[in-house]
């Protein structure tokens, strides 16, 4: 199985991004039956989705897992749906600030993840890692890249499994915030994503 695993560069007031840190830790790691490709996406309305779609077209992966950071979440959140909406609370790294806009004018209102979402969550919980199914990927770049890749795969009738996973802050990120924020250490986050990758190899049905 050819797997593309992506994360995001830092944004907002943070100097690091938990998803980028996980990518750096897993890059080059061996997984049985998996050929792993990685990429870190820019937090930019145009460049982020463009880089992801170009990677998909060049690599032709069997599966794509995109990772992103969600400060304030206490668990690894397996996203189930992406909506056709851009509604940023802060500008992206390119200075773009979108409000009440559609991602694709002729696109579906929403697309569902084609990853084995419930099996992934169950696997994490069984291994003592906080995890949850989420029905909202937000309306910033995380939701956008999830929507864009699912729209692309649907449009070109590609059987690639794809979806998005949100990661909590790392402890050092939470400590830099003025308000108390939940966090999860890097080792646990990496173990969680490794378990998700294993589920791709063993679970056929989406759920």
Residues labelled as active-site residues: 79, 142, 166
For 88, other C-beta atoms within 10 Å of its C-beta total: 17
Could you tell me which of 137, 133, 128, 136 has the C-alpha nearest to residue 184? 128
H or E element that contains 126: helix 117-126
Whether 3 contacts 35, CB under 8 Å: yes
Dist. CA 144–CA 140, nearest whole Å:
6
């Amino acid at each position: 199985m050819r797997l593309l695993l992506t994360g995001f560069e830092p944004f907002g007031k943070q100097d690091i991004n938990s998803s980028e840190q996980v990518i750096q830790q897993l890059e080059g790691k061996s997984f049985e039956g998996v050929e792993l490709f990685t990429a870190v996406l820019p937090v930019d309305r145009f460049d982020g989705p463009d880089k992801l779609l170009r990677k998909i077209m060049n690599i032709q992966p069997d599966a794509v897992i995109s990772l992103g950071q969600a400060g304030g979440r206490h668990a690894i959140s397996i996203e189930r749906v992406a909506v056709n909406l851009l509604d940023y609370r802060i500008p992206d790294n390119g200075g773009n600030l979108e409000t009440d806009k559609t991602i694709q004018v002729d696109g579906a209102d929403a697309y569902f993840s084609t990853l084995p979402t419930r099996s992934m969550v169950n696997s994490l919980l069984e291994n003592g890692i906080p995890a949850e199914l989420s029905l909202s990927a937000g309306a910033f770049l995380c939701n956008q890249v999830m929507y864009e890749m699912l729209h692309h795969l649907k449009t070109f009738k590609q059987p690639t499994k794809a979806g998005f996973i949100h990661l909590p802050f790392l402890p050092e990120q939470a400590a830099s915030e003025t308000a108390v924020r939940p966090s999860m250490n890097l080792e646990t986050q990496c173990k969680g994503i490794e378990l998700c990758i294993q589920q791709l190899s063993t679970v056929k049905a989406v759920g």
